[in-house]
Chains A and B, each alone.
Chain A
Amino acid sequence: MAKQISCSRSRDLDKLLLRSGNLVGPTFDPGTDLRNDLQEYAKVLVVGAGGLGCELLKDLAFSGFKNLEVIDMDRIDVSNLNRQFLFRFHDVGKPKAEVAAERVMERVNGVNIVPHFCRIEDKELDFYNDFSIIALGLDSVEARSYINSVVCSFLEYDADDNPREETIKPMVDGGTEGFKGHARVIMPGITPCFECTIWLFPPQVKFPLCTLAETPRTAAHCIEYAHLIKWDEVHDGKTFDPDDPEHMQWIYSEAVKRAELFGIPGVTYTLTQGVVKNIIPAIASTNAIISAACALETLKIASGCSKTLSNYLTYNGVDGLHTKVTEFEKDKDCLVCGPGILIELDTTISLKKFIDQLEDHPKLLLSRVSVSYRGKNLYMQAPAVLEEMTRSNLDKPLHELMDKCPKDIVHVTGAAGKSGSKQSCLRKLRVVFKVNDGVIDMDVANGA
Chain B
Amino acid sequence: MLIIKNLHAEVEEKQILKGINLEVKAGEVHAIMGPNGSGKSSLASVLAGRESYQVTQGEVKFHGKDLLDMSPEDRAREGLFLAFQYPIEIPGVSNVNFLKTALAEIRQYRGLPPLEAKEFLKLSREKQKLVEFDAQLVNRSLNEGFSGGEKKRNEIFQLAMLEPSLAILDETDSGLDIDALRIVSQGVNKLRSKDNAFIIITHYQRLLEYIVPDFVHVLYNGRIVKSGTKDLALELEEKGYDWLKEEAREKAESI
* Physical interaction between A and B: no
